[in-house]
Amino acid sequence: MERAEFLKRVKFIMKFGKALHSVGSPAHTLESTIQGLCQQFQIKGSVVSLPTAIFSSFSHGEDEVTKIERVEPKGIDLGRLSKVDLVSQEVLQGQITFEEGGIRLDEIDSTDNDYGPWVRVGSFVIASIGFMILFGGTWADLLTSGFVGFLIGLLSLVRPMGLVAQIFEGMIAMAASFIAFTILKMIPSLNTGVVILSSLIIFMPGLFITIAIAEIATQNLTSGTSRLMGGAMILLKLAFGVFLGTKLASWFYLPVIPWEFSKVPEWMVIVTLPLTSLMSVVIFKAEKTDWKWVTLAGVFGYASAKIGNHYLGPELGMFVGGSCVGAMSNIFARLKNRPSSIFQFSGIILLVPGSIGYRSLSFLFERNMVGGLDTAWTMITLAMALVVGIFMGNIIIKPRRAY
């Protein structure tokens, strides 16, 4: 292989790695994918992925290249992942050159795959109401959750910069808590815990923590620990924001409204579960044509875990849910020739224990150390059960690719 050809391949591999990182691929997924690509390109490669950097070294004969790329951690973007996967397949099949593949990857990185502002606000409302029904509550809780979710959705349209961005989650949590506890003064029967948890559910780092546990389990200790601490800091900001909002609301007085609200019937879960799963299309920025697969994945994952929980308990139930989602996501990838992450992330979004982590810190802020530590251990146990379940699903059905 000529040195010029070697450098072309290395350049494409690095752009492909950065593209995978930008769509939220975990460290073990990114590293194994790049290693496989190097083998197909007949290049020796070593890659280390961190939340904020990619270290890589490539060699062929006497030619050797070492690179360090500083990258910004971003959220899951299933739409871009589909496009990146398509480019890699076209390059591997020889349909386009390495240069053309690199240009396509740059174009994908520069395009905004975001949905419109009102669709995003609507997803907050749907998620708030949907999760409130999953948690259980009254019609007052439902209406308040939808109202708070709408206001939080409007606030989320603002894209803060600098120091404000670093405390944005805390500010959002403070606003949600202030509104909920202010309404509590008028409706004493309101379950503020459920309302706040439902309205902030999109900001809960449950998936973040689950990915961190998966990285630690696959011996990506630096990346996993960094991501885990990042998730813990988000939980701290949310819990402290709720604490501040509660204190602010205590300064105001509003008259009590003598209204009685009945409980939301349990059969409403059947109606709202598909809508709650559908919001993952917006949250994960999936392509519009994938809405049916994203919705199906959410319903399938929740139903599998619920059945497992009924017969085997919460931990084994989570394991069953993860196994079913892991296996089915690989079946989806093989049948549709698409990334398994489209089905996998959408399938576990309703299972990740982010709300339990929030409750743990809430207990700690109330100086309930035993309750806080017990809930934190529950979160770690459920996250580990989910991760092991996904790994088991990969054993049952061999993955098409690492992602």
Residue 402: predicted pLDDT? 64
Q: Which of the four pLDDT bands, split at 50, 70 and 90, describes residue 385?
A: very high
Q: Where are the domains of the chain?
A: 3-110, 117-283
Residue 395 vs residues 224, 391, 400: alpha-carbon distances, Å: 22, 6, 12
The answer to whether the CB of 124 falls within 8 A of the CB of 107 is: no
Neighbours of 74 (CB within 10 A): 12
Report the distance separating Cα 212 and Cα 256, nearest Å.
45
Strand order in the sheet with 63-70: 44-50, 53-60, 63-70
The set of residues, in sequence order, having a beta carbon less than 8 Å from that of 309 and lying 6+ positions away, is 317, 318
Q: Are 65 and 32 in contact (CB under 8 A)?
A: no
What's the token pair of residue 37? 């690509």
**pLDDT score recorded for residue 161:** 67
| Tally of CB atoms within 10 A around 150 | 17
Phi (first) and psi of residue 214, to 5 degrees = -65, -40
Cβ(281)–Cβ(343) below 8 Å: no
How much is the pLDDT for 180?
92
User: 209: which 2 tokens?
Assistant: 């923590």
Mean pLDDT of 340-364: 82
- Taking 90 as the threshold, does the pLDDT of residue 297 lie above it? yes
pLDDT at 292: 93
Chain-centre distance for alpha carbon 105? 23
Find where tokens 């800091």 sit: 233
> What pLDDT score does 347 carry?
92
Percent of the chain with pLDDT over 90: 25
pLDDT reading at 3 higher than 90:
no
pLDDT for the residue numbered 1:
67
pLDDT beyond 70 at 368: yes
Considering only the C-alpha atoms of the chain, give the largest distance between any 2 of them, rounded to a whole number of Å: 82
So what's the pLDDT on residue 110? 80
C-alpha distances (whole Å) from 219 to each of 31, 38, 48, 281, 337 are 12, 21, 12, 31, 29
CA angle 314, 319, 325 (to 5 degrees): 125
Strand, coil or helix: what is 25?
Answer: coil
pLDDT at position 178: 94
CB atoms inside a 10 Å sphere around CB 32: 17
- pLDDT (tens digit per residue) in 173-217: 999 999 999 999 898 888 888 899 888 888 888 888 888 888 998
pTM for the complete prediction? 0.87
Instruction: Name residue 56's beta-bridge partners.
Output: 47, 67
CA 168 – CA 237 distance, rounded (Å): 9
Mean predicted confidence (pLDDT) in 74-78? 84
pLDDT at 398 over 70: yes
Poorest-confidence range of 8-17, 85-94, 111-120, 182-191? 111-120
Question: How far from chain centre, in Å, is Cα 89?
Answer: 26
pLDDT surpasses 90 at 377:
no
Are the beta carbons of 34 and 55 closer than 8 angstroms?
no
Are 107 and 56 in contact by the 8 Å Cβ rule? The answer is no
The residues that bridge with 50 in the sheet, in sequence order, are 53
Supply the DSSP string of 34-92, one letter for each residue.
HHHHHHHTT-EEEEEEETTEEEEEEEETTEEEEEEEE-------HHHHHHHHHHHHHHH
pLDDT at 114 over 80: no
Evaluate if residue 140 carries a pLDDT over 70: yes
Question: Mean pLDDT score of the chain, rounded to an integer?
Answer: 87
Confidence (pLDDT) at 331: 94
